Amino acid sequence: MKRRTFLSALGLGAAAAAISGWIASCSKKEEEQGQGPAVMVPGKTEYDWKMVTSWPPGFPVLGEAAERIADKVNVMSNGRIKVKVYGGGELVPPLGVFDAVRQGSVEMGHSASYYWAGTSPATQFFAAVPFGMNAQQSTAWLYRGGGQELWDELYAGFGLKPFPAGNTGVQMAGWFRKEINSVDDLKGLKMRIPGLGGKVLAKMGGTVVLLAGSEVFPALERGVIDAAEWVGPYHDRRLGLHQAAKNYYYPGWHEPGTTTELMVNKQAFDALPQDLKTMIELACTDAHVWSLAELEAQNSGALLDLVANHGVKVRQLPDDVLRGLKRAAKETVEEVAASDPASRKVYDSFLKFKEQNDQWQNISERAYQYALTV
Ligand code: CA
């Protein structure tokens, strides 16, 4: 009534009446056609899916990205596809994700492809490579440089469809009980550092200790290990690693921009209508951008806090140490590429893209970063 009065006061009584009449006739037409009004009414759930992850329940950013994908897909599809997310160990072990999705006991998994190196060494190139590509470069390779096609081909062999679904950005080199001043300081160093990074450290004379997240802090604090890498300031502070060692080294040469993945059982994915396939793809793209943005935002604040309030000494790895690690990384990755044809094929594409793109990065991103320091 108020609206009618207001419109009447403006001399628009006739228009108001016409609009009201039109709205009423539209509603009537919809009723006649058996359609409800065009408001959000949850659609019938057509797909009730499960997503297992490698992350502890409630894990910041990486676990949140998995939840975010499930939420976005639910909202976009108006409830036609519902995905329940499980933390690592809740339904299958954290490293059981690949097999669970592959066998079809669940439809989706959120993880990082380097965990499957034992099944297929080529998977590692889609997550992180020591001295490999940063987040910007690997994103370009995956989306626009042929990386996704190679990933699709590799995973199709396991009955899976992969999507990039997050990136950590450059990680930190880790927490060290003692300072690292030369390559000799790496000899005999007992460090928690998984994957290819661990192989590189072993080549430099270090000893790799494999520990799950929850075991890292007590081992470092008690001196069972001399050093440990985890992710970056935001995650590392949460694990309390600054209370176990004070030397916090950069850069994360071993994980220069780790891509996380969403894998979908291929048979289940192929059976979806095209609109739902596109929604899953877009939810992954969203998670990819969101993860990187969230970590860029959170890491900077956490780093300031660690330095200002926790006595953390942030140190750069010396040039000769980085040089040695880089040489060992090249050897390590070449060995992987030589170990099977799939790895060779993926690494050739990875390396070709990186070498070409490095030329551009040198005069764009890196030149700009340098310009800030002059
Ligand atoms: Ca890491």
The Å distance, Cα 147 to ligand 1 centre, comes to 22
The reported pLDDT for the residue numbered 342 is: 98
Q: Which residues form the domain of 324?
A: 174-254+312-353
Residues 161 and 186 in one domain: no
Rounded-to-integer distance, Cα 40 and Cα 33, Å: 18
Residues 186 and 246 in one domain: yes
The Å distance, Cα 193 to ligand 1 centre, comes to 7
CATH classification at residue 242:
3.40.190.10
Rounded-to-integer distance, Cα 205 and Cα 229, Å: 17
Using alpha carbons, select from 238, 268, 266 the residue that is nearest to residue 162.
266
By mean pLDDT, which of 28-37, 80-89, 105-114, 300-309 is the weakest? Answer: 28-37
Give one word for 159, left, alpha or beta, with left for phi > 0 and alpha for psi -120 to 50: left
The Å distance, Cα 168 to ligand 1 centre, comes to 9
The residue behind tokens 């690693």 is: 241
The Å distance, Cα 2 to ligand 1 centre, comes to 61
The reported pLDDT for the residue numbered 29 is: 46
C-alpha distance from residue 23 to each of 9, 13, 27, 287, 348 (Å): 21, 16, 6, 39, 62
The Å distance, Cα 29 to ligand 1 centre, comes to 59
The Å distance, Cα 171 to ligand 1 centre, comes to 6
pLDDT level of residue 3 (50, 70, 90 thresholds): very low
**Considering the chain, what percentage of its residues have pLDDT values greater than 90?**
86
The Å distance, Cα 258 to ligand 1 centre, comes to 8
Q: Is 344 within a domain? A: yes
Residues 330, 174, 172: CA angle, nearest 5 degrees? 75
The Å distance, Cα 96 to ligand 1 centre, comes to 19
β-pair type (108-111, 247-250): unpaired
Residues 250 and 269 in one domain: no
The Å distance, Cα 257 to ligand 1 centre, comes to 10
Residues 278 and 340 in one domain: no
Neighbours of 13 (CB within 10 A): 13
Whether the pLDDT of residue 317 is over 60: the answer is yes
Strand partners, 314: 248
CB of 94 within 8 A of CB of 54? yes
CB of 169 within 8 A of CB of 231? no
Residues 155 and 181 in one domain: no
CB of 209 within 8 A of CB of 229? no
Residues 320 and 340 in one domain: yes
The Å distance, Cα 374 to ligand 1 centre, comes to 31
Query: To 10 degrees, the CA torsion angle through 265, 266, 272, 273?
Result: 150
Cα 23 from chain centroid (whole Å): 47
Report CA torsion sign: 340, 341, 342, 348.
positive
Q: Is 201 within a domain? A: yes
Residues 237 and 132 in one domain: no
The Å distance, Cα 255 to ligand 1 centre, comes to 6
Rounded-to-integer distance, Cα 261 and Cα 169, Å: 14
Q: Is 304 within a domain? A: no
Using alpha carbons, select from 131, 120, 134, 135 the residue that is nearest to residue 200.
131
Give the ranges where the chain is alpha helix by DSSP (H).
2-9, 13-32, 62-76, 97-103, 135-144, 147-156, 195-203, 213-222, 233-239, 266-270, 274-310, 319-339, 341-363, 365-371
Residues 184 and 155 in one domain: no
pLDDT digits over 210-257, tens only? 888 889 999 999 999 999 999 999 999 999 999 999 999 999 999 999
pLDDT digits over 128-165, tens only? 999 999 999 999 999 999 999 999 999 999 999 999 99
CB of 73 within 8 A of CB of 108? no
**Considering the chain, what percentage of its residues have pLDDT values greater than 70?**
89
Which H or E run includes 129? none
Rounded-to-integer distance, Cα 246 and Cα 234, Å: 16
CB of 28 within 8 A of CB of 36? no
Residues 153 and 289 in one domain: yes
The Å distance, Cα 197 to ligand 1 centre, comes to 9
Q: Is 275 within a domain? A: yes
Q: What is the DSSP string of 130-173?
A: TT---HHHHHHHHHHSSHHHHHHHHHHTTTEEEEEEEE--S---
What is the total count of domains within the chain? 2
Q: Is 20 within a domain? A: no
The Å distance, Cα 365 to ligand 1 centre, comes to 23
The mean pLDDT of the chain is 91
